[in-house]
Amino acid sequence: MRSWVEVSLGTIRANYRAVKSVVGQAVEIMPVVKADAYRHGAVEVSRALEAEGAPWLAVSNVEEGVALRQAGIRTRILVMADFLPADREALSEFSLTPVIHSLSDVPQALGAYHLKIDSGMGRLGTRAPAHEVVESVAAGPGQLEGLMTHFASAANYTSPQTAQQIERFEGVLAALRRAGLAPRYVHSSATIPVAYGRREAWGNLVRPGHAIYGYVSPSRPALPALLAVKPALTWKAAVLAVKEIEEGALIGYGGIHRAEKAMRIAVLAAGYADGIPHRLSNKGSAIAKGQIVPMIGAVSMDLTTIDVTSAPELRPGDAVTLLGQEGSVRIDAQQIARIAGTISYSVLCGIHARVKRVFVD
Ligand SMILES: *Cc1c(COP(=O)(O)O)cnc(C)c1O
């Protein structure tokens, strides 16, 4: 194989249990498996989480939900990021629970639905005042099973935005309760409010994605996390060629790297078409024979070059680690993201579908 990822389903399950131990028995967990489980493989990850006892899973769209049902997943499934009119039939056919984002859709919601409040993120969800939400829900033919919102700045404890969002959300919830329309589920928290213990945002259901895959983004200011999780995904690439180059040689497109001294380089069978960010050119690292080594020159479409002067035992056909741990050294998606000027979510989701996936325990 040129490049592959190893996904540890045992680590996914352990991460789920870690979330459970933080939120306790009174709060249910709805792991988020959208975008092919952040590229970890939605079907296998969902099976592992179902076996671990997850009562719910969350996906972005109907197509993702249908794929899980067709693979035999029987948990409740919430479709979070809206649906198109043409998807309505599949929702009921495959027992998927929709999120309604606009009061104008409430009259068409026949079964159980969750209603999303735009409490200040300015993305999906209704911004209608509480009394309009109450009127609309009371008049609708369906059943308001869940009330939810999503935070824009959860990791930023210097910003008042999360507290303001909670206040606005609680206002709508209180009005529904007064009208006798209390939903069974109240949920606002993705990974961050769970990890840093913002209990007032947990409701009775939390929606962690990143944490399930082993990541918690740093908070501002840096706070200790209650949650300890481990990355479940390791990304490797095969060495295609190893060679010696002389001092002064230029490496790759644009000649953006000049060898300051004679060096040994290895050419890896993975490039930006596999998801290695092009912005790692001349800046990224890999792990070769247990040592961190630098990427040199431009990341190409299918190839990346590393300086392996410090790993003379490396041979063509060996594997190097692009993301993961070898012995005591490790490169994780957050480190890659910092160097590439992006976010860890985008690094994980950017791993291309052509990169083969292998499941390990
Ligand atoms: C993606 C998503 C989540 C999960 O977010 P993480 O930060 O990965 O835990 C939760 N809720 C909604 C609405 C989302 O879109």
Q: Whose CA is nearest to atom 13 of ligand 1?
A: 150
Residue 261: CB atoms within 10 Å: 9
Residues of the chain with CATH 3.20.20.10: 9-213
> What pLDDT was estimated at residue 83?
79
Q: How far does residue 162's CA lie from ligand 1's centre (Å)?
A: 15
Tokens of 25: 């028995």
Look-up: residue for tokens 């490169």?
331
Is 20 known to be catalytic?
A: no
Q: Is 116 in the pocket of ligand 1 (CB under 6 A)?
A: no
Domain 233-360 part of CATH 2.40.50.320 = no
> What pLDDT was estimated at residue 86?
86
Question: Average pLDDT per run of 10 along the chain, which is 361 residues long?
Answer: 96 98 98 98 98 98 97 98 87 96 95 97 97 98 98 98 98 98 98 98 98 98 97 98 98 95 98 98 98 98 98 98 97 98 98 97 95
Is 34 known to be catalytic?
A: yes
> What pLDDT was estimated at residue 1?
87
| CA nearest neighbour of 39 among 182, 215, 171, 176 | 215
The closest-lying atom of ligand 1 relative to the alpha carbon of residue 38 is: 8
Q: How far does residue 242's CA lie from ligand 1's centre (Å)?
A: 42
332 burial (CB, 10 Å; 0-12 / 13-18 / 19+) is: middle
Identify the H or E element spanning 54: none
The closest-lying atom of ligand 1 relative to the alpha carbon of residue 80 is: 13
Domain 9-213 part of CATH 3.20.20.10 = yes
> What pLDDT was estimated at residue 297?
98
Options 34, 38, 213, 272, the catalytic residue: 34
> What pLDDT was estimated at residue 85?
84
pTM: 0.97
* pLDDT, tens digit (0-9, with 9 covering 90-100), for 85-120: 888 899 999 999 999 999 999 999 999 999 999 999
Residues of the chain with CATH 2.40.37.10: 233-360
The closest-lying atom of ligand 1 relative to the alpha carbon of residue 191 is: 9
Q: Is 150 in the pocket of ligand 1 (CB under 6 A)?
A: yes
Tokens of 183: 């939903």
> What pLDDT was estimated at residue 82?
78
Cβ–Cβ under 8 Å, residues 217 and 344: yes
Q: How far does residue 205's CA lie from ligand 1's centre (Å)?
A: 13
